[in-house]
Each structure stands twice: as structure tokens, then as C-alpha cells.
Amino acid sequence: MAKKRLNKAVVEGDESKLNMTPMIDMTFLLVVFFMLSIDLTTKEFIPVDLPFAYKGIEDIEENQDETPRFVINLLSSGEVVFKGQTYSLSSDDPTAQETALRRMREELVALTRDPKFREDDGASMIPVMIHGDRAAKWQYVQWIMQVCAHPSIKIYKMQFAVKKPVSEEEKGN
């Protein structure tokens, strides 16, 4: 059997055929890598038009504490997107707003239960980043901050996502 195949290959020029297997292996690995990384990066931040600020810390690994952080997205409409859940604060109905804030509080209480992330005085070590649209009403930000500082959550560390305006020289490039 083996002999027959070899002979045929030699005769019909089969040697010139490329071995596709390693390439396909690599390609599949790439596909798997992209599938996994894409899932991790797009969940946290919802695209919004961030407020402008000239000062601020660059949001890079070195400036990031060890603890995880929660990203609360605030859209211009008043919708809050947090951990894949949407809470609508924009309603004119105070009862609906109350329900949304209560749900958000319950979610945060459940997420901050771990005593590992608590300071000695009970305050949470986990910062909350408010990734808000610049056109969103400030009162929603206030409400989110107040929910975070609730005695059952005790998150006092806040971060505001901002965008540095591009300077004149950079604009020209």
C-alpha cells in the first residue's frame, strides 16, 4: 500500500503539493484567539462621547490598581449599562427610576460582598469608573455616585472617563 502511493506520487508530481495542515492549524488558532479577545474587550465599554478634560491620568496598566474595577456606562439618553444589564433612569416616572436604582444597588451589593476587597473601615477597594456621555444629565451621575456610597456598598473610589482634546498640531496630522 505504502509503496504504491509513493510510486504514484513520484510519477504524477505529487511532491509539488503543499502540506496545508500546519497553516490551517495556525489559522484556527488565530481565529480562536480573536474570538476570545473580542469577547473580553467589547463588553465593558459602550461607545459614548466622553467629556473633554485637559488634565487626567492616562488610563494604562501602570496607573491601574490591582483590584478589579466596575465600569458604569451612562448614555446620553439616561440609560445606564452595567455588567451587561441596562437600567433606564431617563423615565419621567419616579417609580421607574426608583426601581432601576434599586436594581442597580442590589447588583452592586452582590458584587461587593467579598470581604477580600474591603478596607479595614469597611470601605470597598473596588473603584467605579463612570464612563458617561458628555451630554448626559449630571443628575444621573449624582444618583450613581450616591448608590455607590450607600452604606451597604461603600464604594468611595470614583473615576471619570474623559478624553483629552487633540491639540492644533495633532489635528493637522
**Binder to another protein among 10, 68, 109, 134 (CB under 8 A)?**
134
Which residue's CB is nearer to another protein, number 81 or number 101?
101
Residues 22-61 that bind another protein (CB under 8 A): 23-24, 27-28, 30-31, 34-35, 37-38, 41-42, 45, 47, 49-59
Site for another protein contains 125 (CB under 8 A): no
Contact between 158 and another protein per CB under 8 A: yes
Integer-rounded Cα radius of gyration of the chain: 26
Please list, residue by residue across 27-57, b when 16 or more beta carbons sit within 10 angstroms of its beta carbon and e when fewer do.
eeeeeeeeeeeeeeeeebebebebbeeeeee
Contact 44, 69 (CB under 8 A): no
Q: Which stretch binds another protein (CB under 8 A): 79-87, 108-116, 151-159?
A: 151-159
Q: Please choose, out of 80-88, 106-114, 140-148, the segment that lies near another protein by the rule CB under 8 A.
A: 140-148
Of 92, 90, 91, 108, residue with least CA distance to 147: 108
Residue 119: CB minimum distance to another protein, A = 10
CA nearest to 51, candidates 145, 142, 159: 159
Would you say 108 and 153 are in contact if contact means Cβ atoms under 8 Å apart? yes
Q: Is 142 near another protein (CB under 8 A)?
A: yes
- Applying the rule CB under 8 A, the residues between 94 and 123 that interact with another protein are 94, 97-98, 101-102, 105, 121, 123
Stretch that binds another protein, among 79-87, 107-115, 165-173 (CB under 8 A): 165-173
Q: Which of residues 60-99 bind another protein (CB under 8 A)?
A: 63, 74, 76, 94, 97-98
Q: Which amino acid is at 67?
A: T
Q: Check if the beta carbon of residue 126 is closer than 8 Å to that of residue 155.
A: yes
